[in-house]
Structure 1
Amino acid sequence: MSYTRTLGQHYGWLWAVATVCCAPLATPTHAATVVTLPQLDVSDTQDDTELADSPLNASSPNAASRRMSSLSSPDSASLFRDQPGFSSYAGGRLANLPVLNGMADDRVATFVDGVRISPACPNHMNPALSYIDPQSVQTATSVAGLTPVSSGGDSLGGSIIVERAPPRFARHGKILFTGSASGTYRSNGSGYAAHGDMTVANDMFSLRYNASYAEAGNYSAGGGFGPVPSTEYLTYSHDITFGMHKGNHLLALTFSQQDTPREGFPNQYMDMTNNRSTGVNGKYTGTFDWGELEATGYWRRVSHAMNMLADKGGHSATTGMPMNDESRTAGYAIKATIPLARAHTLRLGSSFDHEGLNDWWPPLAGSSMMGPDTFHTLNDAHRDRLGHFAEWEARWTPRLSTLLGLRNDVVMMNTGNVSPYSWMSSSMSGMSMMSGMGGMSGLSTDGAAAKAFNARPHGRTDVNFDVTAMLRWKTTDSLTIEAGYARKSRAPNLYERYAWGRSSMATTMIGWFGDGNGYVGNLDLKSEVANTASVTFDWHDPSLANRWQLKVQPYYTYAHNYINVQRIGSLANSMNHLNGYVLQFVNHNAQMYGINASGRYALWDSAHYGRGEVTGVLNWVRGQDMVSHSGLYQQMPLNGTLALNETVGPWTGRVELNLVKAKSTVDWVRNEARTPGYALLNLAGSYKWRMLTLNAGIDNIFNQRYYMPLGGLLVMTEKSTGQHIALPGMGRSFNVSLTATF
């Protein structure tokens, strides 16, 4: 499948400088006063692009798919929903966790404006893509499987890269004033959204303000299921970008703030009752006699709070179970691109990421279980990652090129001593409902666990090495083959290593899996190491018409020390759980294999009837734990998307069919639910008239009831009815948006 992206996605700021310097050649869009970035269809020039910049396993949604995705959902993860190898863990409606080739969340390197953002929450309710509105995204790219070392380390499955639009500048002597405003309505859940941006610039300075707002109630599932509890949300954000360029140098600074006062999580025991993120991100790009230099620096503060919304019986921070997180992240990334000769390029880079996190649960007044002291899950914890890489790309002939990269990441982690709600056991404390620990008479379950945790040193250092080797061979004018091997590694996150509680209540507050189980960390975890072999076959139209393309990518991964879980206790008959377990993170070997396929074919292309194109994606993955011999958790069953896109003058339309096979291979250790297969039909269209663009669509036209294979369990239904129910998907929704540009 072809995809369109802004020139220089990995060198976007450099291209902005080049465009400004060549302003007379740029394409004007507003009264011939604005310098804009040209567009490039990578599928037309795939064989001429660099391997590191555009591997064949990279993909990006086309314009019709992006419009449908942003119209249907306020979550930026939805932009990738029909991309090869992509799926997502369902959580809150703003916070789905990306999955590439069966590897999810921390195993995927997710970058927003060049910054990798780690979730600051024991339930991962605030992942990286939740910090950017889909209408603010200019470029969105997923790289499933083999990933160049210059695209980041400390990950296994691939990379997700989203970028805001770069600063825009006017021609010399002109002033640019431009912007847009849009409003969106979604009938299911009565969702409302608004977005606006405004730019003022001359030929040297640019200032842009961007804002967004989204709110909805609980959605209704299809087939008469009714409202799904804890699926509401409210969020708003704004950011200011200042850009400055001179000669071959460009600097951009973005100041951002996002607030999410509430977001329900139907597959978690907690909801998000506040999340405020404040940050600054700076980017510099320059060209010199020796090559190109890119540098990024960032700082971010996140204040995060969880409790129970009304669906779960909570009403304010003084009821339910308050949980707080404070996160500080900061870091830099530097990359130098040095041409060694006409056909050889060397890339050198260095990066550092600091993650500081405090996680504490205040006592609840009047509660014998949650008090009288503060529960400290992470006490001044930090995770610092220092990485360096070297990458050599060579174009041996016009038909043959290679890429070889080496990377080292040193991950340093530590946390202070921790404490439970109460150190001593009490018959009035409710501890009789919790699993015992034994051997420490008089101590509460969590008191004994805290004492054992504090008795051990907490500092850990992981020294990891990555290798990526790729070869691209243009065998004929219509077939390009790209094959390679990658050794990728990832150190445990803070909760996988340091979550220490052992009671039912404490363990069920940890975990981003939505399965109703409780989780315990492991100080002795080792880094994961995944060895992946993959090959991509790209058949395409050799003519300039570019009417068709077919990509097929089989892959195999064997992971040493894959971080999975083992059962160490049961939650049965306690806290209204049904057949839940206390699970501890452990290192097991695992394997994953599968195949991704995508294609497109232009059915017609004429001045009178416009262009009609059919597109399709098919994904299949299978994962297995080599110790427990269970399936790996939340692996998407065989699934595909078939769509017809049409463009006629100002009109574009899309008819989309989503097909998902029944999920029968599950993780029995986590008691993962099986789900039936389903088919969904969606429809969307867009019409542009002068400064106005109208988008409208219908999701799940036949109001089909279906259950999300990666949605986990509807935990509140489990508690109230004693039944395991997989999370049901959204029913029919009528969506409409209107955008005005000026």
Structure 2
Amino acid sequence: MVIFLNHRRGAASVWVFAALCATAITPLGWHAAHAQTAAPQSSVVTLPRLDISTNAEEEDATSLSDAPLSASSPDASTQRMSRLSSPDASALFRNQPGFSSYGGGRLANLPVLNGMADDRVATIVDGVRIAPACPNHMNPALSYVDPDSVQTATSIAGLTPVSSGGDSLGGTIDVERADPRFARKGKILVTGRVRGTYRSNGGGYSAAGSVTVANDLFSLRYNASYDQSGNYRGGGGMGVVHSTSYLSYNHAVTAGMHKDNHLLSVTFGQQNVPHEGFANQFMDMTNNRSTFVNGKYNGSFDWGELEARGYWQRITHAMDMLGDKGGHSATTGMPMNNDSRLAGYSLKATIPLAPNHTLKLGSSFDHQGLKDWWPPLMGSMMMGPNTYNNINNGHRDRLGHYAEWEAHWTSRVSTLLGFRNDLVMMNTGDVSPYSWTGMMNMADAMAARAFNARRRGRTDVNFDVTAMTRWQATDSFTLEGGYARKSRAPNLYERYAWGMGSMSSSMIGWFGDGNGYVGNVDLKSEVANTASVTLDWHDPTTANKWGLKVQPYYSYVHNYINVVQLSTFTNGRHKLQFTNHNAQTYGINASGHYTLWDTPKFGKGEFTGVLNWVRGQDNVTHSGLYHMMPLNGTIAVHETVGPWKGRVEMNFVKAKDSVDYLRTEPRTPGYALLNLGGSYTWKMVTVDAGIDNIFNQPYYLPLGGLSLGDTRYIGYTRALPGMGRSFNVSLSATF
């Protein structure tokens, strides 16, 4: 059974097919489809991208809009090791230029691109910007997709086309599930895959699978996954790292229909996370349930191509203290609940104006409605007798439009010019503390009265501009550079977190630093002016034996949302309020690959490397910006011999000395980790195995913040330790 697909990238169209017979399917469906002669038009469907692509060096990157040189996608070997080591979709981007991540939850790391973290990165899953529904950002966008379901994963660090997202500063991360598969006319397709994984550190295990039934017009697919782990152990003698356990379930059903060059798909899904520990927060996640519907239409017409999406999602989220932090009692802990509803649409039209000129037009709307309330705790004098209303029916609505013009002036020179406008409208209702009387709630009661007396509605009118030029100077050297003006409006918590008490403010913050945070209704939108250039040296032949990219960049940010210190708690941490300062970031990313050998006897061996360096400074306080990753890199050797694939990888990180002293950010020593992995495929079965941190090196995560979950066990607060040695194995099969 065979499926024929039409894959358009810029002006080029290529026909590709994927054999779906059991003996011909590549493991887990991650490998690229193979080229094939064009099929009759009646059995063709137009799709965007078909698989998790190889590195950008290996692609025909003719489009500045769709494939800027600053874009990268993990190769197949990195994909396999990432899925083997971690159940978190953000791990798919490890070792990509400019990328790092942080977070205390092992399913919910927050992305960082070129030193810009979390909300400053446009994180898109199936075309949707999923806003965290939590004052600690425990449920970011990438936590809602199982890595096994991901088909394409792309990060753009640096200059970002306006068509790749607004309301962000640092870049874009775009993750897509697989499009539906269809059979040839007159055939029935039944295909699927199953996988089981075990990770020794923490005793983690997971299972995932999918099954597809389709004919030439209709397709139905079911995906499911299960992940569970206990607390992991740090390297060396660091012992157990508490509050790092998790349990997660994912289910999704995708129905698809296509005819000629039109594809319609609808995905219904639900995720349930009964518990997830957060080592660098005072709270843990005690339940997170998400239900969503996501529809997509792709069509080709005489005038161009149209993509339309619509979505709805409801998230119910609960926090409290798990057993590690002394919870599980009616008189201990602190229950916190959230109810969020997301809905929106996006439209994208690609219109050829002339053989070498293309116009893209787009419109989108995203609605986030949020209710955040903290029920009273029985028997507590501080947390009662009433409900604490933190965000009371708040909303954040964003309406965006853009126009983007790409021109290929010669075979070697092309330009991109885009304009975008985002209108962000926010408001929230009246709030209330646990009690309007009593000394223990006096600060919150006064803050609530002042907050309720204010006009809280705010509208931000933001404009983005991206101008880029690409010059292929020689067959082996390409230069790409330009300027971007990017803007981001504050999130609901940055504006509307009103509590001034030591306890209530300590519950706000997604930074893992143990400080307390207070919102600021009068915050302005951040505006980043970024200049960047990418120098790309590469093999002039199609063999692609070598390549090197170097990308320096500089950003000056007006109204960067940072903090000012209000007071100091008895434990030495601080109460901070969000405020606007000017700031700057600058750095350099580099990546390369070189083919060491390529012979029938010894297969193919390849050396790869990535190097990232970034610095950030608040121009008012002259402190370092928070969550700036120190100099880091990865070198690896890959080998492929028939059905065997192997990888040896070393990650190295310099000591973190540049810190944000306002938040008392911890300094961490440098370290180097050696990882080993490989896979073997026999017919329908693939075995993956690997060892992370082979020498069980002790180390601290530079962006991990403080290990608050360990404090009651070791008697002091330390930086969050990284994971020690782990033996990982996975068995998968396709049919």
TM-score of the pair, normalised by structure 2? 0.94
Aligned to 1:334: 347
Aligned mate of 1:593, from 570, 586, 590: 586
Aligned equivalents of 2:669, 2:512: Cα separation in 1: 18
Equivalent residues of 2:56, 2:73 under 8 A apart: no
In the alignment, residue 708 of structure 1 is paired with which amino acid?
L
Aligned to 1:710: 703
Aligned to 1:519: 517
Equivalent residues of 1:541, 1:548 under 8 A apart: yes
Aligned to 1:423: 436
Aligned residue runs from structure 1 range 527-546, under 5 A: 527-546=525-544
Aligned to 1:104: 117
Residue 414 in 1 paired to residue 393 in 2?
A: no
Aligned to 1:728: 721
Equivalent residues of 1:468, 1:486 under 8 A apart: yes
Aligned to 1:303: 316
Equivalent residues of 2:55, 2:72 under 8 A apart: no
SS at match of 2:716: coil
Equivalent residues of 2:223, 2:251 under 8 A apart: yes
- The alpha carbon displacement at 1:319 in A equals 3.9
Aligned mate of 1:129, from 142, 163, 173: 142
Residue 26 in 1 paired to residue 17 in 2?
A: yes
- The alpha carbon displacement at 1:31 in A equals 7.2
SS at match of 1:446: helix
Aligned residue runs from structure 1 range 359-438, under 5 A: 359-426=372-439, 431=440
User: How many residues of Structure 1 are paired with residues of Structure 2 in the alignment?
Assistant: 709
Aligned residue runs from structure 1 range 131-280, under 5 A: 131-280=144-293
Aligned equivalents of 2:346, 2:362: Cα separation in 1: 7
Aligned mate of 1:353, from 366, 370, 390: 366
Aligned to 1:434: none
Aligned equivalents of 2:706, 2:458: Cα separation in 1: 34
Residue 507 in 1 paired to residue 505 in 2?
A: yes
Aligned equivalents of 1:424, 1:168: Cα separation in 2: 62
In the alignment, residue 207 of structure 1 is paired with which amino acid?
L
In the alignment, residue 28 of structure 1 is paired with which amino acid?
A
Q: Tell me whether 591-600 or 88-97 shows the greater mean CA deviation.
A: 88-97
Q: Tell me whether 111-120 or 594-603 shows the greater mean CA deviation.
A: 111-120
Q: Tell me whether 386-395 or 713-722 shows the greater mean CA deviation.
A: 713-722
Distance 1:596 1:152, change over 3 A: same
* 1:556-584 C-alpha deviation (Å, 9 max, x unpaired): 00000000001001112xxxx3x100000
SS at match of 2:630: coil
RMSD after superposition: 1.9
- The alpha carbon displacement at 1:167 in A equals 0.4
SS at match of 1:401: strand
- The alpha carbon displacement at 1:424 in A equals 0.7
- The alpha carbon displacement at 1:32 in A equals 11
Aligned equivalents of 2:57, 2:151: Cα separation in 1: 20
SS at match of 1:669: helix
Aligned to 1:468: 466
* 1:370-417 C-alpha deviation (Å, 9 max, x unpaired): 000000000000000000000000000000000000000000000000
SS at match of 1:51: coil
What fraction of aligned residue pairs are identical, expressed as a percent? 70
Aligned to 1:3: none
- After TM superposition, the runs of 4+ consecutive aligned structure 1 residues lying more than 3 A away are 6-11, 31-48, 316-319, 716-724
- The alpha carbon displacement at 1:47 in A equals 6.0
- The alpha carbon displacement at 1:551 in A equals 0.2
In the alignment, residue 699 of structure 2 is paired with which amino acid?
Y
SS at match of 2:495: helix
Residue 498 in 1 paired to residue 491 in 2?
A: no
Distance 1:353 1:43, change over 3 A: closer
Distance 1:369 1:32, change over 3 A: closer
- The alpha carbon displacement at 1:425 in A equals 1.7
In the alignment, residue 291 of structure 1 is paired with which amino acid?
G
Aligned equivalents of 2:389, 2:232: Cα separation in 1: 35
Aligned mate of 2:479, from 471, 481, 484: 481
Distance 1:659 1:403, change over 3 A: same
SS at match of 1:130: helix
* 1:514-555 C-alpha deviation (Å, 9 max, x unpaired): 000000000110000000000000000001211000000000
Aligned equivalents of 1:608, 1:552: Cα separation in 2: 34
Aligned residue runs from structure 1 range 672-691, under 5 A: 672-691=665-684
Residue 660 in 1 paired to residue 658 in 2?
A: no
In the alignment, residue 29 of structure 1 is paired with which amino acid?
L
- The alpha carbon displacement at 1:60 in A equals 0.8
Aligned to 1:73: 86
Aligned mate of 2:556, from 555, 558, 564: 558
* 1:652-695 C-alpha deviation (Å, 9 max, x unpaired): 00000000000011000000000000000000000000000000
Residue 698 in 1 paired to residue 666 in 2?
A: no
Distance 1:45 1:189, change over 3 A: closer
Gaps of 5+ in 1: 1-5, 432-442
Aligned mate of 1:623, from 613, 616, 624: 616
- The alpha carbon displacement at 1:94 in A equals 0.3
Aligned equivalents of 1:401, 1:162: Cα separation in 2: 27
In the alignment, residue 581 of structure 1 is paired with which amino acid?
H
Aligned equivalents of 1:388, 1:85: Cα separation in 2: 28
In the alignment, residue 169 of structure 1 is paired with which amino acid?
F
Equivalent residues of 1:297, 1:332 under 8 A apart: yes
* 1:622-668 C-alpha deviation (Å, 9 max, x unpaired): 00000000000010000000000000000000000000000011000
SS at match of 1:118: coil
In the alignment, residue 569 of structure 2 is paired with which amino acid?
L
Aligned equivalents of 2:459, 2:9: Cα separation in 1: 30
In the alignment, residue 658 of structure 2 is paired with which amino acid?
T
Equivalent residues of 1:33, 1:175 under 8 A apart: no
Distance 1:318 1:281, change over 3 A: farther
In the alignment, residue 160 of structure 2 is paired with which amino acid?
T
Aligned to 2:43: none
Aligned equivalents of 1:495, 1:8: Cα separation in 2: 42
Aligned equivalents of 1:699, 1:316: Cα separation in 2: 37
- The alpha carbon displacement at 1:74 in A equals 0.4
Q: Tell me whether 321-330 or 714-723 shows the greater mean CA deviation.
A: 714-723
Aligned equivalents of 2:469, 2:703: Cα separation in 1: 34
In the alignment, residue 289 of structure 1 is paired with which amino acid?
D
SS at match of 1:507: helix
In the alignment, residue 261 of structure 2 is paired with which amino acid?
N
Aligned equivalents of 2:582, 2:712: Cα separation in 1: 34
Distance 1:486 1:686, change over 3 A: same
Aligned equivalents of 1:646, 1:309: Cα separation in 2: 44
Equivalent residues of 1:238, 1:256 under 8 A apart: yes
Distance 1:385 1:317, change over 3 A: farther
- The alpha carbon displacement at 1:48 in A equals 5.2
- The alpha carbon displacement at 1:28 in A equals 2.6
